[in-house]
Structure 1
Amino acid sequence: MPDKNWFDTARFGMFVHWGHSSQRGCELSWPLVGGAFSLPYSQNIPVEEYHSTASTFNPQNYNPQEWAKFAKCLGMQYAILTAKHHDGFAMFHTQVSDFSIQRSPYGKDIVGEFVDAMRSAGLRVGLYFSLIDWHHPDYPAFTEADKPYIFGQYRQPNPAQWQRFIDFMFNQVRELLTNYGKIDIIWFDGSWERTPEQWQAKELGEMVRSLQPEILINDRLPGCGDFDTPEQFIPPQPPLCAWETCMTINESWGYNSNDKSFKSPRRIIHTLCEVAGKGGNLLLNVSPMGDGKIQLELLGRLAEVENWIGDNEESIIGTEPGLEPWQFYGPSTRRGNRIYLHLLMKPYDSIDLRGVPIKRVKSVQVLGSGMELSYTTRCAIMDSLLNGDPIGELIIKVPEIAIDPYATVIAIDFGVGNESASALS
């Protein structure tokens, strides 16, 4: 059975979208089908022209050890690489196709190097694999005549073609889960173009679990998901199961030189706080350039995130959701009897918590600086007189000097109540 304990409180991971098209500075895969409405900077590139850069892919500056160090400093707990995107190019050595990094000038196994580097740094490892393959002749391959790409209208193979493709797809998944040691997550994508029966999703899931019994499978292999994957947004209500939201730093998944719509460090930090407060993970995408370097615009922003994480990681990684929304107007997390409040807006002098055991409050401080904050409490008069453990309001004064320019985190320590060490209300 898959072990989800680590994933349930991981909170932060790195998604890496990378492929031969990154040399061109364009989005992965989608330009070859003419772009997509959800990717505003996705170009329209002729199919053969798009595929042609597979023969020149030679990322001499690829340094996965640096990527792993970078992720570790950000507090990330896992990293997922695009082993094969919709364009069909395999970033690993495969025996069932010539369309792979093995046949490129680079030659070395990018997936193998990635897995080794992340594992050496103590990170969990995941591999992204698209069920779609717009290059494989039996899929069938996408052509210029198939443009424009219309969701729900796809050319269908004949039965013999489809069986050959299914055998090919199963073989590639088998290679990924056999040749690289333990893989913690397989992140499927692209299921919208065929039915679960066509994908043989049940059989594929069974094969995955037979090869890697402890692996986690995302929800994009129909009927087989261990966790949900909302994309590019934070769900208003957290899913009932384990979940992560995958999100780009600009508006593109792959390195796109035209896309300058970058999120600010503050927005990234606020997103991380909100996701953690709802019990999810943020899978934040980085998109290396064609030579393997990560663009400076991303590094600069993430360096500021790293500085914030250095002071506040305790309030994110390994935590559980904290208070209910009616108790505090903002994200909160908890670790045992310590509650972390994430202030995403500057307070007017003070903040209020409702429905907490006010006589159990032991300390209130700013997490990053350790500054002690003054507070008052109140509850119903009779509760104050007759109840040894009353539930009421906690009012915390937050002076201007305590406010962090990105997000202020306040840590509140509660003593143990009579009923249990974990109960706070």
Structure 2
Amino acid sequence: MPMQPWFTDAKLGIFIHYGIYAVDGVTESWAFYHGQVSHEQYMKQLEGFTAAHYDPDVWAELFARTGARYAVLTARHHDGVALWDTAQDGLSVARHTPAGRDLVTGYVEAMREHGLKVGLYYSHSDWNHPDYASVIHPDMPPEEATAHPYVAPRDGQERPQAWERYLAYRTAQVRELVTAHHPDLLWFDGEWERSEEQWRLDELADAILSVSPDTVLNGRMLSQGDYATPEQGLPVTTPPGPWELCLTINDSWGFQHHDHNHKSVRLLVRYFTETIAMGGNLLLDVGPREDGTIPDEQVARLEGLGDWIARHADAVYDTRAGLPAGHHYGPSTLSADRRTLYLVCLDAPTEGVSVRGVRNTVKRVTVLGTGTALAHRTVGGLGAVPGVLWIDAPHGSDVDRHATVLALELEGELDLYRGFGRD
């Protein structure tokens, strides 16, 4: 199936890690998996999850103001606690917490009301389901087969019938989400714990797309996925095909009381521009408190990023990946008609900004957001080898405190020299 064009045009999405782990502020699901807290202590958080101030309309308004075009909510993490009133046997906030209600439907409605595409996160794995730890990944070394009792049978003896029950449960839950909400995107996780054949991902994809044929599937559906999902660090080489960078605002996915190591707005602008310059989307994560409110520090970062995007929207939306590395010392994007090149200056230029390899005549250079025209000239060049384009540095109010963007209007579509120069 061809990739849905909305995804590659979106540029920014918001990841929402929301679940019972916010009660004590522990690592989502992993806290009991790694023994940071006991399983009993982790699950006791069910008693404190209230969603008392959960208002997805407030979320959606904030995300839209940030400039996001889609959002992804953790409908069910590895701990198996569903955020909706699932009809399957298993844990849910509707039946097992004071929240006592479905939290997914309101989220879906609010996002669509504010024009955002709807994404739902669902973990293939469920470390609380009694039938989950019943088989072993075929590539797992024997000495590791029973290392994690939440994943594999303790005695190393597989129980195929239990695994069949788990797959039926997994597929039924996914079908509930798809039938009820027709999500624009399903963001799967936990795929590493079984092989693609064990997960029966071809059957799962068929079950999804037969009901909602336009739903985008992330790369953790393995061969059935539509795009790649690197986490926490920009790839050095652009992934083949569509992709998104998943990034936390601080160091945590879910809410953690003591994590105040929030990235600055300037750093988030840098991550964002470098990502879209490589043709990807940024999926920026927030971790709401258990009551459903997003911490002020995270709101401030989203608002700051949104302010920058609003001032530089022409360089963000309806653009494609810009110049390859080496042509400009910073990120860049290219308009869809390939006639305007946007140069991002992450640091305030001093004498000038240089661009190499552009064969086109540059009709005009302006500072995006202020419209100030900048003088420019080409120095050098020989035959088919173009000279270096030098642009006078912007000054004063034309310099953005986070990143300045220069718009180069070209004569014709971008014609880029990629050679080695004259021998």
> Same fold by TM (over 0.5)?
yes
How big is the shift at 1:193? Answer: 1.3
Matched, 1:61 2:61: no
SS of 1:356's partner is coil
Choose which of 371, 381, 401 in structure 2 pairs with 1:405. Answer: 401
> Is the alpha carbon distance of 1:211 and 1:395 closer, same or farther for their aligned partners in structure 2, counting shifts above 3 Å?
same
Equivalent position of 1:330 in the other structure: 330
User: Residue 352 of structure 2: which of 309, 325, 350 is its match?
Assistant: 350
Shift of 1:379: 4.2
Counterpart position of 1:187: 187
Equivalent in the alignment of 1:50: 42
Q: For residue 415 of structure 1, report the CA deviation from its aligned partner.
A: 2.4
Q: Which amino acid aligns with 2:81?
A: F
Structure 1 SS opposite 2:323: coil
Runs (4+) of structure 1 exceeding 6 A deviation are: 150-154
Is the Cα–Cα contact under 8 Å of residues 80 and 90 in structure 2 kept in the other structure?
Answer: no
Q: Which residue in the other structure is 2:203 paired with?
A: 203
Q: Give the letter aligned to residue 410 of structure 2.
A: F
Q: CA deviation at 1:153?
A: 6.9
Within 5 A, what are the aligned runs for 1:344-423? 344-358=346-360, 360-380=361-381, 391-401=386-396, 402-416=398-412, 421=413, 423=415
Going from structure 1 to structure 2, the CA distance change for 1:381 and 1:87 (only over 3 Å counts) comes to closer
Matches of 2:174 and 2:309, distance apart in 1: 35
Give 3-state SS (helix, strand or coil) of 2:179's partner.
coil
Per the TM alignment, residue 69 of structure 1 is displaced from its structure 2 partner at its CA by 0.9
By how many angstroms is 1:147 displaced?
11
Query: 2 CA distance for matches of 1:99 and 1:312?
Result: 44
The answer to whether structure 1 residue 101 and structure 2 residue 93 are counterparts is: yes
Aligned-partner Cα distance in 2 for 1:129–1:158: 24
State how far apart, in whole Å, the 2-side matches of 1:162 and 1:2 are. 33
Identity rate, percent: 38
**In the TM superposition, what are the counterparts of 1:148-297 in structure 2 within 5 Å?**
155=154, 157-180=158-181, 182-297=182-297
Question: Cα offset for 1:378?
Answer: 3.1
Q: CA-to-partner distance for each residue in 1:340-396, whole Å, 9 max, x for gaps?
A: 1011123231011112135x312111102212111112343667xxxxxx9432100
Query: 1 CA distance for matches of 2:89 and 2:290?
Result: 22
State the distance in 2 between where 1:150 and 1:7 align: 38
Match of 2:84 among 85, 92, 103: 92
Distance 2:98 2:382 in 1: 77
The superposition leaves residues 82-126 of structure 1 with CA deviations (integer Å, 9 ceiling, x where unpaired) of 000000000012101241122132222111111110011111111
CA–CA distance in structure 2, aligned partners of residues 124 and 261 of structure 1: 29
**SS of equivalent to 2:26:** coil
Structure 1 residue 308: deviation in Å?
A: 1.2
**Is the partner of 1:300 in helix, strand or coil?**
helix
Residue 23 of structure 1, CA deviation:
1.6
Amino acid at match of 1:166: L
Q: 2:391 is paired with a residue of what secondary structure?
A: strand
Distance in 2, Cα, partners of 1:154 & 1:290:
33
User: Residue 129 of structure 1 corresponds to which residue in structure 2?
Assistant: 122
Work out whether residues 2 and 213 of structure 1, in 8 Å CA contact, stay in contact via their aligned partners in 2.
Answer: no
Task: State the AA in 1 paired with 2:387.
Answer: G
TM-aligned CA distance change 1:172 to 1:2, over 3 Å: farther
Q: Which residue of 1 aligns with 2:110?
A: 117
Would the aligned equivalents of 1:12 and 1:317 in 2 still touch at CA under 8 Å? no
What residue number does 1:41 align with?
A: none
Q: Distance in 2 between matches of 1:382 and 1:272?
A: 37
What do the CA deviations read for 1:19-42 (whole angstroms, capped 9, x no partner)? 01212122211111126xxxxxxx
Unaligned runs of 5+ in 1: 36-43, 384-389
Cα distance change, pair 422–212 in 1 and its aligned pair in 2 (3 A): farther
The 1:268/1:147 distance shift into structure 2, 3 A limit, reads farther
Deviates most, 239-248 or 298-307: 298-307
Q: CA deviation at 1:56?
A: 3.5
Deviation of 1:15 after TM superposition, in Å, equals 0.4
1:11–1:318: 8 Å Cα contact kept in structure 2?
Answer: no
Q: Spell out, residue by residue over 1:146-193, the C-alpha distance to the aligned partner (whole angstroms, 9 max, x if none).
A: 99859997746511211111110010010010012x311111100111
Is the 1:81–1:126 Cα contact (8 Å) retained in structure 2?
yes
1:138 aligned residue: 131
Amino acid at match of 1:339: L
Q: Kindly provide the CA deviation profile for residues 220-272 of structure 1, in whole angstroms up to 9, marking residues without a partner as x.
A: 12221100011111101111110001011111111011212211111100000
Indicate if the aligned counterparts of 1:189 and 1:220 stay in contact, CA closer than 8 A. yes
CA distance in 2, matches of 1:98, 1:105: 16
In 2, the alpha carbon distance for the partners of 1:290 and 1:382 equals: 65
Give the count of matched residue pairs: 401
Does the CA contact (< 8 Å) of 1:33 and 1:147 recur in 2?
A: no
In the other structure, the counterpart of 1:40 is: none
In structure 2, stretches of 5+ residues that fail to align are 135-144, 418-423
Letter in 1 for 2:187: W
Aligned partner letter, 2:238: P
